[in-house]
């Protein structure tokens, strides 16, 4: 393996002002536990291990690029959420972050429920043995066929997202001779401090029914009249990758005041509120996410206090974390290919994956960290942009980061915190083969989603 040096070019003001990075870290070999999963460590010989296995062994056995998911960490995070909210609340894992049959089994074993938002997620959940009553079905445009499957399967909740859907679900339930438990998703009018594409509680977007102007109250009126529906609660999801918990608190207050209005108008105290997901995670050392314990405490306090003030029985609270459970549990392992130093700018490090396995940088301007993991290095830090092998210049995995200047083709680098919304949003762009997800635990790796093959691509191409 050659070890040529690629010095960082001069970092002039333009580059610095465009960049997202701060100063190079004091120690490029250090692995910040905020962004790496629990069992990741660097051993004395400089290699990184996860679940007790060296990354070079993982690369040999499973290839690159690949996502390695720390099963012990996943289970620990499930337990932390469950313990934080306690027996009087429910934690629904948001399957959109990453879902596979193994994940469903872990959730089941750890006592979590599951939020699904498509027929495909529902099938995966049921196939892996999640009891239907522990599944909530979401989405702004569920098809009649999806609704029918969900009702027939006996899902615990359908979260109604529009006036039309109130009627659709009621008719389907009637036809199947069932009474479907439902919640109504409301938009509480909170501007969550996150990327526009993942904020969902302001009024001008496609989800839910607005509290403002009495729309949500009208939806409740209609739902309560329909025999096919058993309205049990109100749902709010304000957005994703949120650090400022004030938005959740405002949402909780507004949802409780709707419950009070409903009691006053209909004499009915709805027994549940769901405050959605959205808690942010650390992608870089600059991020400081809240702990489940703190968010649980503050939500419980607000709901209890507001309910007491409105003389309401405190409803059962549920939450739907996706990213905060699975995000930090996985890293993507890549092999370094071409290294291209651009004099006066930065060094482009190309890896064997890219926007097909992590679209988040291109789509949301997301920030990631990266480390050399197949060895340690004492070389100087060099400013890099980690890019993929796709045919466009937006194909960026890590916009700005520092790697050792002796980085060379064949080295393995890893991008942490890729457990959420990376494999689940992966594509076949340029006919890339979507990478496998390998669960690592107690010294062994187990493929839970296999690598796509060229035969898989050709199988769909039937022309």
Q: Using CB under 6 A, list all residues that contact ligand LLP.
A: 94, 96-97, 115, 138, 198, 237, 240-241, 276-279, 320-324, 360, 364, 420-421, 425
- Nearest approach in angstroms of CB 117 to ligand LLP is 7
How far is C-alpha 4 from the geometric centre of its chain's CA atoms? 38
Rank residues 247 and 277 by Cβ distance to ligand LLP and give the closer one: 277
Buried b / exposed e over 209-232, threshold 16 CB at 10 Å, is bbbeeebbbebbebbeebebbebb
How far is C-alpha 128 from the geometric centre of its chain's CA atoms? 20
Percent of residues in the chain assigned helix, strand, coil, to nearest 5: 35, 25, 45
β 66-70/89-94 pair status: unpaired
Rank residues 276 and 354 by Cβ distance to ligand LLP and give the closer one: 276
- Nearest approach in angstroms of CB 315 to ligand LLP is 18
Q: In Å, how far are 164, 205, 367, 439 from 124, measured between CA atoms?
A: 27, 28, 30, 18
- Nearest approach in angstroms of CB 341 to ligand LLP is 31
Q: Which H or E run contains 231?
A: strand 229-235
- Nearest approach in angstroms of CB 94 to ligand LLP is 3
Q: Which residue has the tokens 């909170």?
A: 190
Rank residues 51 and 388 by Cβ distance to ligand LLP and give the closer one: 388
Rank residues 328 and 404 by Cβ distance to ligand LLP and give the closer one: 328
Give the active site residues: 391
123 touches 144 (CB < 8 A): no
Q: In Å, how far are 11, 133, 343, 392 from 6, measured between CA atoms?
A: 14, 57, 10, 23
- Nearest approach in angstroms of CB 248 to ligand LLP is 11
Rank residues 159 and 448 by Cβ distance to ligand LLP and give the closer one: 159
């Amino acid at each position: 393996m050659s070890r040529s040096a690629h010095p960082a070019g001069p970092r002039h003001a333009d580059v610095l002002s465009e960049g997202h990075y701060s100063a190079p870290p004091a120690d490029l070999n250090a692995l910040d536990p905020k962004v790496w999963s629990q069992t990741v460590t660097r051993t004395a010989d400089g290699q990184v291990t996860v679940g007790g296995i060296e990354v070079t062994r993982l690369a040999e056995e499973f290839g690159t690029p690949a996502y390695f998911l720390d099963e012990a960490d996943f289970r620990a995070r499930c337990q932390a959420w469950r313990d934080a909210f306690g027996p009087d609340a429910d934690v629904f894992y948001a399957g959109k972050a990453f879902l596979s049959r193994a994940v469903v089994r872990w959730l089941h074993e750890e006592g979590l429920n599951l939020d699904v938002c498509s027929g495909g997620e529902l099938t995966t959940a049921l196939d892996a043995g999640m009891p239907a009553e522990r599944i909530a079905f979401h989405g702004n445009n569920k098809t009649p066929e999806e609704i029918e499957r969900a009702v027939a399967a006996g899902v615990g909740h359908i979260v109604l997202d529009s006036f039309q859907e109130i009627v659709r679900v009621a008719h389907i339930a009637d036809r199947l001779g069932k009474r479907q438990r439902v919640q109504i998703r409301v938009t509480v009018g909170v501007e969550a401090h996150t990327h526009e594409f993942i904020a969902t509680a302001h009024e001008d977007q496609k989800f839910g029914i607005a509290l403002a102007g009495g729309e949500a109250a009208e939806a409740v009126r209609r739902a309560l009249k329909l025999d096919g529906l058993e309205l049990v609660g109100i749902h709010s999801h304000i957005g994703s990758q949120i650090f400022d918990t004030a938005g959740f608190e405002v949402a909780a207050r507004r949802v409780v005041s709707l419950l009070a209005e409903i009691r006053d108008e209909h004499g009915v105290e709805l027994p549940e509120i769901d405050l959605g997901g959205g808690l942010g995670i650390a992608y870089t050392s600059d991020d400081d996410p809240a702990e489940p314990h703190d968010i649980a405490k503050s939500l419980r306090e607000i709901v209890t206090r507001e309910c007491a003030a409105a003389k309401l029985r405190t409803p059962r609270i549920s939450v739907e974390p996706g990213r905060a459970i699975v995000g930090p549990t996985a890293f993507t392992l890549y092999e370094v290919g071409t290294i291209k130093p651009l004099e006066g700018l930065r060094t482009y490090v190309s890896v064997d994956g890219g926007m097909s396995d992590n679209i988040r940088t291109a789509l949301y301007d997301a920030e990631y960290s990266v480390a050399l993991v197949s060895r340690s290095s004492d070389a100087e830090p060099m400013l890099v942009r980690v890019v993929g092998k796709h045919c466009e210049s937006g194909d960026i995995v890590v916009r700005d980061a520092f790697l050792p200047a002796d980085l060379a083709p064949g080295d393995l680098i890893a991008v942490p915190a890729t457990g959420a919304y990376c494999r689940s949003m992966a594509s076949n762009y340029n006919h890339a083969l979507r990478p496998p997800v390998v669960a690592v635990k107690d010294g062994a790796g187990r493929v839970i989603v296999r690598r796509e093959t060229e035969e898989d691509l050709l199988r769909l191409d039937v022309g």
